[in-house]
Amino acid sequence: MLQIKDLQAGIEGKEILKGINLTIQPGEVHAIMGPNGSGKSTLASVLAGRSDYEVTGGSVEFLGKDLLDLSPEARAGEGLFLAFQYPVEIPGLSTINFMKTAVNEVRKYRGQEALDAAEFLKLMKEKMNLVNIDKNLLTRSLNEGFSGGEKKRNEVFQMAMLEPRLAILDETDSGLDIDAIRIAAAGVNAVRSKENATLVITHYQRLLDYIVPDFVHVLYNGRIVKSGGKELALELEETGYSFLKNEMNIA
Amino acid sequence: MSTINIIKDKARELGTTQADALQPIRSAALASFDKLGVPAVKHEEWKYTRISQLFNQSYKIGTDTVDSKLNWELFRLPEFETANELVFINGVYNAAASTVRSAGLVVLPLEEAAKGEYASIVSKHLGHSAEYLKDGINALNTSFLVGGVFIGVNRSTEIEHPVYIYTINDGRAENVFAQPRTLVHVAANAGVMFVETYGSIGHADHFTNQVMEVVVEQDARIEYYKIQNDHAGASLVSTTHFRQVGKSYVHAVTISLNGAMVRNNLNMVMEAEYCESNMYGLYFTSDSCHVDNHTIVDNAKPHCLSNEYYKGILDGASTGVFNGKIFVRQDAQKINAFQSNKNILLSDTASVYTKPQLEIFADDVKCSHGCTIGRLDEEGLFYLRSRGITEATAKSLLLHSFAVDILEQVKPDAIRVYIDQLISERLGSYYGNAYPI
Ligand SMILES: Nc1ncnc2c1ncn2[C@@H]1O[C@H](COP(=O)(O)OP(=O)(O)O)[C@@H](O)[C@H]1O
Ligand SMILES: [Mg+2]
């Protein structure tokens, strides 16, 4: 469903992604690991359409469409979702009103009827239960004054509401304790299906105990330097990333 | 003859035709206007608001007779059926069109109030704003003190229904110069709410120079909402001067959405201990609209609290001005005064001038102020768009959410919803995408 070919991107003349190749099929879960600053969030942002980043080469195809040609909202409409590493605070806009607008705009994009108030409430209740999020949080200003964990849970809630085909989770586990990780993972697993795929970006292997990946990739210095099965994550947990640097230096 | 000379002649003429108790005040004000003239841009308080240019065209002077069938009802506010409604046409109070329904609310022509049981209140408070606004514009209004009203709220009365004030100009035939004048007295332990709106019939240019003086006695409470959404040829100087002579509560919200040149002077003179005053404002302007909010908070006594929070969204070639003066006099220990002004510029041709001015002569006080000028938050915009919200709707949502904390200060539900709708419609027309409420 997603084919990334030799993707190169940067910001203000600085090269960050130096030729990424990655293919994700429906039903698969991929994990991207790698040390800080290696370009994981940049990859996620470029896929979601953040305009600060300039794509300097390569291509991305999503469900048969040229992803890089689409606006961020069209990408969401096509079924892409990014759970932000640093969710944005928006004073004066509640998560509920935000989601009411988002769900219906996405439905409009997909040629579906808008949900009325009752239908929306029903959907919201269902997803609230799924990710175990408090209603009070959803009536407050979006992410404003939320703890790190609350912000991440809100991202998972939004993902559940929008039912994406491909969910990209950027360090959704950071800031969460183990119970919260379990709940977040349950949210991800609940929307998993044969048609949908997930790309999990993480630092730690512990999230991968709950969201078990089919493939693990190591991103380092703007390139995927190693790919393997779920055992690669365990291996990294034991040895850390230092070996990579040695490997790279030799190479 | 120049417009200013025509206006002066008219004021002098009033001196011969109006032989009432207010004539000495008018004459003194006319002498003062003669001396001060119309403020030029070199006048510090009028630096960004070129008020003199409004005197370059001719006007029908608003004390002349009006069409009794004027359709001012167009501008009625929600739930008017149960409200007190005071109608000013071309600056003159129109008793026939007005409705006073609440017990304890007294509405009298100022000339009459000046000689009856309210005479001492009138003589003590009418014209007090001139001590703070030492300029020709304020004097000019006073020199035309005709057709104004006295509004009294009786002691220990909670006025059940809001008081709506409609300031309407009839511009079907010619430009209008209108100068409404009001003196409000809220007696001890009374409570009242005002909502004021402005409108024009016809498309001629107007200049409304309004002065409202409000006296708030011990334990009295007043809420005061102003909605300014007149057409692009309507200019307004709106002075609202509060005197808190006893421990009291004032809550004022000024919403400015359209007009040619709009200048608000909002003064809070806190003459007693433990006064509280809130001043909120939202200006959302486009095209060549100019909105200037000048505020003064004068702390004379200890233990007072003032909150001031103004927000602006400026588009097109519009201009916003915010000037917030806070005086803390020597005796005013342990006061709290907060001030904040935040602005979003939506275009390269819009501009905003913001200036806090704190003069503090007491040492044990808490004052804070801050101002920001920025663009629409790009991070927020991307976040919303990444959830499938179109750019247009995302902008609407962000601007609406920027305005929300001022909107929330409009306490009566019907009025808040009404203002919210005006803003949402504007956002909708702006981005070609109705904002979903
Ligand atoms: N907006 C930006 N401006 C400048 N440099 C950036 C920006 N975003 C990322 N970078 C740089 O790009 C590199 C990769 O960052 P990032 O993608 O956030 O890495 P990761 O998510 O793997 O920690 C880092 O060196 C970072 O400093
Ligand atoms: Mg990152």
What is the pLDDT confidence band of residue A207, given thresholds at 50, 70 and 90?
Answer: confident
CA distance B51 to B46: 7
For residue A52 and ligand 1, the question of a CB distance below 6 A is answered with yes
* Residue B433 pLDDT > 60: no
Question: Which numbered ligand comes closest to the C-alpha of A241?
Answer: 1
pLDDT tens digits, one per residue of B109-159: 999 999 989 999 999 999 999 999 999 999 999 999 999 999 999 999 999
Residue % of chain A over a pLDDT of 70: 96
pLDDT tens digits, one per residue of B362-374: 999 999 999 999 9
pLDDT tens digits, one per residue of A70-79: 999 999 999 9
For residue A36 and ligand 1, the question of a CB distance below 6 A is answered with yes
CA distance B95 to B373: 45
* Ligand 1 center from residue B388 Cα (angstroms): 25
CA distance B243 to B241: 7
* Ligand 1 pocket mutation, candidates A12, A18, A40, A42, criterion most atoms within 8 A of CB: A42
Where does B90-177 have alpha helices with state H? 110-113, 119-125, 136-143
3 state SS of A25: coil
pLDDT of residue B435: 43
A162 closest CB neighbour out of B377, B387, B394 = B387
What is the rounded end-to-end Cα distance, in angstroms, of chain B?
Answer: 53
pLDDT of residue A246: 62
The one-letter amino acid at B350: A
Residue that wins the pLDDT comparison between A170 and B1? A170
Please spell the DSSP secondary structure of B132-147, one letter per residue.
Answer: T--SHHHHHHHHT--S
Determine the distance in angstroms separating the CA of B385 from the nearest CA of chain A, rounded to an integer.
Answer: 5
CATH code (residue A235):
3.40.50.300
CA distance B176 to B174: 6
Question: Which numbered ligand comes closest to the C-alpha of A222?
Answer: 1
Q: Given an 8 Å threshold on Cβ–Cβ distance, is B389 in contact with A101?
A: yes
pLDDT tens digits, one per residue of B210-257: 999 999 999 999 999 999 999 999 999 999 999 999 999 999 999 999
Please spell the DSSP secondary structure of B354-421, one letter per residue.
Answer: EEEEEEE--SS-EEEEEEEEE---HHHHHHHHTTT--HHHHHHHHHHHHHHHHHTT--SHHHHHHHHH
pLDDT of residue B432: 54
A145, burial (CB in 10 Å: exposed 0-12, middle 13-18, buried 19+): exposed
For residue A39 and ligand 1, the question of a CB distance below 6 A is answered with yes
Average pLDDT score over chain B: 94
- For chain B, counts of helices (H) and of strands (E): 8, 21
Using an 8 Å CB-CB cutoff, list chain B residues near A87.
383
Pairing of strands B149-153, A2-11: unpaired
A105 closest CB neighbour out of B379, B390, B403 = B390
The b-or-e profile of A117-136 (16+ CB within 10 A means b, else e) is eeebeebbeebbebbbbeee
For residue A37 and ligand 1, the question of a CB distance below 6 A is answered with yes
A88 closest CB neighbour out of B383, B390, B397 = B383
For residue A246 and ligand 1, the question of a CB distance below 6 A is answered with no
Q: Cβ(A46)–Cβ(A9) under 8 Å?
A: yes
For residue A222 and ligand 1, the question of a CB distance below 6 A is answered with no
Q: Cβ(B305)–Cβ(B336) under 8 Å?
A: yes
For residue A40 and ligand 1, the question of a CB distance below 6 A is answered with yes
Q: Does A248 touch chain B (CB under 8 A)?
A: no
Residue % of chain B over a pLDDT of 90: 86
* Residue B205 pLDDT > 50: yes
pLDDT of residue B63: 66
Q: Which two tokens stand for residue B22?
A: 């207010």
Question: Considering the entire predicted model, what is its pTM?
Answer: 0.93
Residue B156: C-alpha distances to residues B83, B105, B108, B190 (Å): 20, 11, 20, 4
Q: Does A47 touch chain B (CB under 8 A)?
A: no
The one-letter amino acid at B6: I
| C-alpha torsion A197→A203→A209→A212, nearest 10 | 20
B101, burial (CB in 10 Å: exposed 0-12, middle 13-18, buried 19+): middle
Q: Which two tokens stand for residue A140?
A: 């407050």
Q: Does A93 touch chain B (CB under 8 A)?
A: yes
User: What part of A 164-223 touches B (C-beta under 8 Å)?
Assistant: none
CA distance A185 to A210: 6
Determine the distance in angstroms separating the CA of B208 from the nearest CA of chain A, rounded to an integer.
Answer: 34
Number of neighbours of residue B340 by Cβ within 10 angstroms: 17
Q: Which domain holds residue A153?
A: 2-250
Q: Does A87 touch chain B (CB under 8 A)?
A: yes
Using an 8 Å CB-CB cutoff, list chain B residues near A101.
389, 393, 397, 436
The b-or-e profile of A76-112 (16+ CB within 10 A means b, else e) is bbbbbbbbbbebbbbebbbbbbbbbbbbbbbbebeee
Q: Which of B229, B232, B196 is nearest to B77 (CA)?
A: B196
CA distance B387 to A105: 9
A88 closest CB neighbour out of B379, B391, B400 = B379
Where does B107-220 have alpha helices with state H? 110-113, 119-125, 136-143
Q: Given an 8 Å threshold on Cβ–Cβ distance, is B436 in contact with A101?
A: yes
Q: Does A92 touch chain B (CB under 8 A)?
A: yes
Q: Which of A145, A174, A159 is nearest to A41 (CA)?
A: A174
Pairing of strands B149-153, B181-186: parallel
CA closest to B434 among chain A residues: A101
* Residue A10 pLDDT > 60: yes
* Ligand 1 center from residue B266 Cα (angstroms): 48
What is the pLDDT confidence band of residue B437, given thresholds at 50, 70 and 90?
Answer: very low
Q: Given an 8 Å threshold on Cβ–Cβ distance, is A101 in contact with B393?
A: yes
A92 closest CB neighbour out of B394, B401, B436 = B401
Mean pLDDT of A117-137: 93
Q: Which two tokens stand for residue B331?
A: 């005796």
CA distance B111 to B89: 18
* Residue B68 pLDDT > 80: no
Q: Does A101 touch chain B (CB under 8 A)?
A: yes
What is the pLDDT confidence band of residue B65, given thresholds at 50, 70 and 90?
Answer: low
Q: Given an 8 Å threshold on Cβ–Cβ distance, is A49 in contact with B398?
A: no
pLDDT of residue A250: 45
Number of neighbours of residue B191 by Cβ within 10 angstroms: 18
| B397: Cβ contacts below 8 Å, ≥ 6 apart | A93, A97, A98, A101, B384, B389, B435
Q: Which atom belonging to ligand 1 lies closest to the Cα atom of A222? A: 14
CA closest to B393 among chain A residues: A101
Question: Which numbered ligand comes closest to the C-alpha of A86?
Answer: 2
Mean pLDDT of A34-42: 94
Q: Does A145 touch chain B (CB under 8 A)?
A: no
Q: Cβ(A199)–Cβ(A69) under 8 Å?
A: no
Number of domains in chain A: 1
Mean pLDDT of B302-314: 98
CA distance A250 to A241: 15
pLDDT of residue A249: 52
For residue A86 and ligand 1, the question of a CB distance below 6 A is answered with no
